[in-house]
Chain A
Amino acid sequence: MTIKASEISVGDTFEEVLVEDLKRTQLVMYSGTSGDYNPLHSDDKYTTEAAGYPGVFAHGMLTMGMTGRVVTNLFGPENVKKYGVRFTNQVWPGDDLTGKAVIEAIREEGGETLVDLAITTTNQNGDVVVMGNATGRVEA
């Protein structure tokens, strides 16, 4: 259910489990749908032997995409006006991710009711992996 301005207040928090025990299969699937075949996300041999990482890791855009579910579940995908993040830590297979949105503002602009969200996604250790903001249209 999408949110309505009359039913929310600044400071309200919405949390959603995005993934538990992230699978390599999902990394492969995301490479396929996005076209991002960077071997860092699918090729363990390359990533460990040539690139010097402990293993393949998730596309930032996969984490941003999963985190976007928190945004689209609150606004509906057709009502998202802005969504932006910074990638602060890598995401690894096996990670559990939880997305959180905090209502920062409810405002009127150009005849529309807009809601600003502060977004963070954390892993099972409490490390923030993405943080950002989103703005969407809501019913009054």
Chain B
Amino acid sequence: MMFRRSIGDFSVPDTGMEDAAAPPTFPQAVAQFNPDYFLRIKPGEAWFGSGKNASGVEGQASSSGGLHAEQHFEFERPVRPGDVLYATEKAGKTWEKESKRAGKLMFSERIIEYRDADGTLVCTARGVGVKTERPVDQG
């Protein structure tokens, strides 16, 4: 419900009880359930981001931080409220390309398979991230 609201999808009335299938991009919110996700705040660690000073995530390059280049979802069945899914992640291909707007582009693919408790595949998500040599030129 919260996720649907955040993408401006009001096709399902907010009753808190709805059992409509999740929007197709919802599996991306798996980050919420991954205790090791690098953008997750952890007990005993400082929040990242700018306080007095401009700051990002400790140890991450600033200007060449990753951008999202592609994302693909393939569903064997819809994801519904109440589902408990198990995610396994594996690295895919990597490749490089030169671009006029951002210098050298380094692409890397990441594949996440979501399975139910029986091990049956529900959804495959393939993401491609890109690290740019410099910020993308807006001209």
Residues of chain A having any CB pair with chain B under 8 Å:
18-19, 26, 29-30, 32-40, 42-43, 45-46, 48-54, 59-62, 64-66, 68-69, 71-73, 76-87, 90, 132, 134
Chain A residues within 8 Å of B22, by CB: 77
Contact string against A for B residues 22-35, beta-carbon threshold 8 Å, 1 for contact and 0 otherwise: 11110011111010
**B62 to chain A: which residues have CB within 8 Å?**
46, 50-52
Number of interchain pairs (Cβ within 8 Å): 163
Output the least CB separation between B89 and chain A (Å): 15
B57 interfacial contact with A, CB 8 Å: yes
B8 touches A34 (CB 8 A): no
Query: Does B40 interact with chain A (Cβ within 8 Å)?
Result: yes
Give the total of B residues in contact with A, Cβ under 8 Å.
50
Q: Which residues between 1 and 30 of chain B lie within 8 Å of chain A, taking CB atoms?
A: 2-3, 5-9, 11, 20-25, 28-30
A31 to chain B, nearest CB (A): 9
Answer whether A36 and B73 are a contact pair too, CB < 8 Å, given A54-B138, A73-B11, A77-B23. no
Q: Binding site of B, secondary structure by majority: helix, strand, loop or mixed? A: loop
Report the bound CA distance from A85 to B37 in whole Å. Answer: 23
What residues of chain B lie closer than 8 Å to A30, measured between beta carbons? 6-7
Among B6, B39, B62, find the residue whose CB has the most chain A CB atoms closer than 10 A: B6
Return the contact of A84 from the options B5, B23, B72 (Cβ within 8 A). B72
* B25 smallest CB distance to A (angstroms): 4
- One of A29, A35, A72 near B31 (C-beta < 8 A): A35
Interface contact A81-B75, CB-CB below 8 Å:
yes
Known: A34-B29, A35-B39, A51-B63. 13 other contacts (CB 8 A): A26-B6, A30-B7, A37-B39, A46-B62, A50-B54, A51-B62, A65-B6, A66-B7, A78-B20, A82-B73, A83-B72, A84-B126, A90-B136
CB-nearest residue of chain B to A80: B24
Q: Mark B62-78, 1 if CB is under 8 A from A, else 0.
A: 11010111111111001
Q: Please determine whether B56 and A50 come into contact, CB atoms closer than 8 angstroms.
A: yes
Which of the residues A39, A69, A87 comes within 8 Å of B56, measured between beta carbons? A39
A115 to B63 alpha-carbon distance, docked (Å) = 41
Chain A residues near B41: list those with CB within 8 A.
37
The answer, yes or no, to whether B120 is at the interface (CB within 8 Å) is: no
- B106 to chain A minimum Cβ distance, whole angstroms, is 16
For residue B134, CB closer than 8 A to chain A, the reply is yes
| A40, A49, A80, A87: most-surrounded residue (chain B CB, <10 A) | A80
